[in-house]
Structure formats: C-alpha cells, structure tokens
C-alpha cells in the first residue's frame, strides 16, 4: 500500500502543478492590459513589422500608446505600416529604419546599424521586439540547402543579436526596459524538426540567448523574454503541414499580438496562446521517437508536394 500512496501523492503534486500553470495563464489572459508605456518607456523598436505577426504586434504596441521605431529592409512597406499605425493611433509617432537584416555583420550593414544606434540613443526606447525571422528553405535535407539560404538564416541569429546590442545600452542607463524575442515551439516543445533543421537550430539559439540575457539584466530592471508560439495563421509558420492539422488551435496574427503584448515582462520563456499551451502539454506526453517519426513522415510528404509544385510549368 505504501507504493500506492506514493503514486497518489506524486499524481496529486503533478495535477496541482498543472492547475497552477493553468490558473497563472488565465490570470494573465483575463486581467486588464499592462501599462507598458509607464513601466518601460515611451518608444518601442520592432524588427520585421511589415507583415504577419510583426505587423499585428506593431499595431498592438501603438494601441498601447507606444511610439515606434520600425526596422525592416523595404522602405515602401515600412511606409505602409507607418500609415496604418497613424490611422489606428493618430497620436503615435513612428520612425522608419531601413536595414537589410540578412546583411548584418557585413560591411554593407555598418552604416545602417550606425543610423539605428543614433536613432535609439536619442529616444526613450523601453521595449524591443525582435520579430524578424527566416523559415526557408522549407522541407529540405541539409545538403540541399544553398549558400544563399545559409546566409539569409543569419536574420534569426545575427539580426537579433546586433539589434539587441544596439538598443539595450539605453535601457541599462534608464534602469528599465523589456526585450521580447520571437522564438518557436519547434525548438522547445518537440524533440526535433527534421527537414527544417537550420530553422529549429536558430530558434534554439533565440531561447538560450533570451534566457541568459534575462539572468544578466534582470537586476538592471530589464525583462528579457522569449515567446515560443506554435502555428499562427497567415505567417511563415503556416507553411508547416502540421498547421493544417491543428487549425482549430491556430490564432490569427491579430489574436496572437493582443495576447503576446499582455505577456511582456512575465518570465523568460512564455507561450502566450492557451491553445498552444495545450499542444505543448500533449507534445510532452507523446514519446520522442513517435514525434520524430511523425514529423519526419509529414515533412517528407511536404517535400514531395513542394517538389511537384516547383516542377509545374509556368504559364507564359
């Protein structure tokens, strides 16, 4: 009977831990929005704001009263999001910073980075959102990826690192700030991501980078956080074949952004969407070898589909 009692106690502790996490999540989801401007500063810098999650996060931050420094490589698209923000929040100011994020750590980016540093040094930048990221190449073996695709993947690594290094000194001087890095559940909740190896590996860097910075800078009043969502509709993550399977649990970028902003400052790693937390929970139950085989099977199928699409003749 002693062993049975021990199992009951362990089961009760486990259930209590799950219940605590659920209650904590619901408490953040249903309470009023945090006054980010008062807590951190009057300006936010966001990378990759011209589409998908980045676009929605920029609009949501503007609705929270933050002025925005918009960092991207297409000046026309930056103007579009600036105009959208002005319509949604007429009192919000925006500044565009054109920067080819895939060219960071090269001579071509030095001048653009210098301009970005000058911009943020003159402003009360209290929030940095590193949203820009690259998924391609999709569903390929490592040896099939070209050199150009390897270079583009530096957006997930060097862009995040260099932009953070440019913005965080001002936060240190002011003794407050928040850094939000968009990671992925693909590097945290599941054991592997076959045929998307480079993407998953770079997102693991994002998580470890964020956690270490959190430990380094929390005593200086700076909250560093990695948000690790699963699939979000209409974004690059929707390219995964699994996104169709879990469509009922897949939020729109607007829904994700509203919830994500509420989670700023709440822990070094978070999964803002409740449906994603459910997926994370069940991913932890399924044995790793089964997840590995399922994901490999799905991505091999997707690889064939993509090869078929690429082989179709183009209409003249």
Per-position DSSP letters for 58-123, written without gaps between them: HHHHHHTT-EEEEEES-HHHHHHHHHHHHHH-TT--EEEEE--GGGTTSGGGHHHHHHHHHHHHTT
**Confidence class for position 316, pLDDT limits 50, 70, 90:** very low
pLDDT of 251: 86
Cα distance between the two ends of the chain: 78
More confident residue, 304 or 17: 304
pTM: 0.86
Mean pLDDT, residues 159-176 taken together: 94
The DSSP line for 181-231 is EE--GGGTTSS--TT-HHHHHHHHHHHHHHHHHHHHHGGGTEEEEEE----
For the segment 71-78, the average pLDDT, to the nearest whole number, is 88
225-261-83-96 Cα dihedral, nearest 10 degrees: -20
Structural contact between residues 130 and 182, judged by C-beta atoms closer than 8 angstroms: yes
Distance, CA of 252 to CA of 213 (rounded, Å): 29
Q: Which residues of 192-202 are buried (b: 16+ CB within 10 A; e: fewer)?
A: ebbbbebbbeb
Over residues 18-44, the pLDDT tens digits come to 677 666 656 655 655 678 999 999 999
Please give the DSSP secondary-structure letter assigned to residue 238: G
Instruction: Please give the Cα distance from 202 to 101 (Å, whole number).
Output: 15
- The rounded distance, in Å, linking the Cα atoms of 194 and 219 is 38
| Rounded Cα gap, residues 68 and 37, in angstroms | 12
The secondary structure element, H or E, covering residue 250 is none
What gap in Å lies between CA 94 and CA 3, rounded to an integer? 63
pLDDT of residue 103: 62
Backbone phi, then psi, for 283, in 5-degree steps? -65, -30
Q: Which residues contact 161 (CB under 8 A, 6 or more apart)?
A: 209
Q: Is the pLDDT reported for residue 73 higher than 80?
A: yes
pLDDT (0 to 100) of residue 202: 92
**DSSP β-ladder status, 43-47 and 222-227:** unpaired
Q: Compute the Cα dihedral for 104, 109, 114, 119 and give only its sign.
A: negative
Best mean pLDDT range from 68-72, 126-130, 190-194: 126-130
As a whole number of angstroms, the distance between CA 138 and CA 152 comes to: 13
The answer to whether 40 is a known catalytic residue is no
**Is the pLDDT confidence value at 179 over 90?**
yes
Lowest mean pLDDT among 2-11, 14-23, 143-152, 181-190: 14-23
Q: Is the model's pLDDT at 6 over the cut of 90?
A: no
Model confidence band, residue 242 (pLDDT cutoffs 50, 70, 90)? low
Sheet order of strands, 94-98 included: 94-98, 67-72, 43-47, 125-130, 177-182, 222-227, 269-270
**Of residues 199, 205, 217, 256, which has the active-site annotation?**
199
Residue 157's closest CA among 100, 226, 101, 238?
101
DSSP state of 241: T
The helix/strand/coil state of 12 is helix
Q: CA of 38: how far to CAs of 34, 74, 92, 124, 206, in Å?
A: 9, 31, 15, 11, 27
Q: What is the mean pLDDT of the chain?
A: 84
Range from 33-37, 38-42, 81-85, 307-311 carrying the lowest mean pLDDT:
307-311
């Amino acid at each position: 009977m002693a062993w049975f009692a021990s199992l009951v106690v362990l089961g009760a502790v486990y259930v209590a831990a799950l219940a605590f996490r659920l209650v904590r999540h619901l408490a953040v989801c249903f309470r009023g929005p945090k006054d980010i401007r008062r807590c951190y500063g009057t300006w936010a810098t966001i990378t990759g704001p011209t589409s998908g999650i980045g676009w929605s996060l920029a609009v949501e931050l503007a609705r929270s009263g933050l002025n925005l420094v918009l960092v991207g490589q297409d000046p026309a698209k930056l103007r579009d999001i600036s105009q959208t923000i002005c319509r949604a929040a007429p009192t919000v100011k925006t500044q565009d910073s054109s920067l080819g994020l895939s060219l960071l750590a090269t001579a071509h980016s030095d001048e653009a980075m210098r301009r970005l540093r000058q911009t943020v040094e003159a402003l009360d930048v209290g929030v940095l959102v590193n949203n820009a990221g690259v998924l391609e190449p999709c569903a390929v073996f490592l040896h099939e990826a070209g050199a150009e695709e390897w270079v583009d993947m530096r957006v997930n690594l060097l862009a995040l690192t260099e932009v953070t290094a440019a913005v965080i000194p001002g936060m240190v001087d002011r003794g407050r700030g928040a850094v939000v890095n968009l990671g992925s559940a693909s590097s945290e909740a599941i054991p592997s991501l076959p045929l998307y190896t480079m993407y998953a590996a770079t997102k693991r860097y994002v998580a470890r980078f964020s956690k270490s910075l959190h430990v380094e800078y929390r005593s200086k009043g700076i909250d560093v956080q990695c948000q690790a969502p699963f699939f979000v509709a209409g974004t690059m993550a929707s390219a995964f074949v699994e996104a169709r399977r879990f469509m009922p649990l897949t939020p729109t970028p607007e829904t994700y952004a509203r919830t994500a902003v509420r989670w700023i400052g709440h822990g070094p790693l978070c999964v803002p969407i409740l449906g994603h937390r459910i997926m994370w929970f069940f991913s932890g139950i399924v044995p790793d070898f089964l997840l590995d085989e399922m994901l490999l099977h799905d991505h091999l199928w997707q690889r064939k589909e993509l090869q078929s699409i690429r082989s179709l003749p183009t209409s003249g």
